Amino acid sequence: MKYFFTAIFSFIFFSLSIAQASTKDCNLKPSANSKNYIIGYGSLMERDSRMNTNPQAYRVEPVLVSGFQRVWGQNGGNYKTTFLTLVEKKDAKLNAIFYSVNLENLIKTDQRERSYCRIKVDEKNLDFYGRKVKSKNVNFWIYAATPDRLQKPSRSHPIAQSYVDIFINGCLQTEEEFKLQGFAKDCVQLTSDWSEQWVNDRIHPRRPFATKNAVKIDQLLSQYFSHYYNHPIE
């Protein structure tokens, strides 16, 4: 009975989150002459992962974002993995980093995070760990869940250790660089829906970006082999 009510509550929570995410304008074009920042809370926190998309994104700053909850809930589709995402939730918060981007690199990041929805975060929801940030004509963007991809980890789409490693490594990098004791622990504690549906894939990573041009390779081969995405993952 306890499991039944837990499952019902979980379904209601995710349904409300989906409704909230779907009301947001997705991937809006920034206003002219505005300065743009991306807030990274998952793989974008990790230096090498972030700079693989945007080589200029070396310099970052820490930020605490309120009104959102980081969750294991982004269904990876054909890649059989559940990634991190976020949903709007009152009184929730998450620690992250932010960095400056030009329009070209914003578009590149949109392409990388194409299964997410880039939304604008109000500055009142941001705490810069005591640092001052110029806010005039500035946009802070974050990638949120989309209704068709929001799903908890499962046997078919587990949490992948290789992705966890990137996430936590980014947290450790931030903790060390800015002398923020406990920042990495906060990354764990401010993330919900950790699950026993978790695979250790360090030897053979499930992450599509672990192999250069993996997405293009998959798109090409799937045109010729209907069974391509059904191959077992080892």
Q: In whole angstroms, give the CA distance from residue 94 to residue 83.
A: 16
Longest dimension (CA), the chain: 56
Instruction: Give pLDDT tens digits along the chain (234 positions).
Output: 444 433 443 444 444 444 445 445 899 999 888 999 999 999 999 999 999 999 999 999 999 999 999 999 999 988 889 999 999 999 999 999 999 999 999 999 999 999 999 999 999 999 999 988 887 889 999 999 988 889 999 999 999 888 998 999 999 999 999 999 999 999 999 999 999 999 888 777 876 666 556 666 677 778 887 877 776 665
219 found inside a domain? no
Quote the domain boundaries for residue 99.
25-209
- The DSSP secondary-structure symbol of 209 reads G
Assigned domain for 197 exists: yes
pLDDT at position 78 is 84
Q: Domain for residue 229, yes or no?
A: no
What is the amino acid identity at position 149?
A: R
Residue 215 lies in a domain: no
Residue 225: inside a domain: no
pLDDT score for 144: 97
* Residue 128 included in any domain: yes
Residue 220 domain-assigned (yes or no) = no
The C-alpha angle 143, 144, 146, rounded to 5 degrees, equals 125
Integer angstrom CA distances of residue 133 from 44, 99, 105, 108, 183: 20, 11, 21, 24, 20
Q: What CATH number does residue 193 fall under?
A: 3.10.490.10
**Total number of domains constituting the chain:** 1
In angstroms, the first-to-last Cα distance of the chain is 36
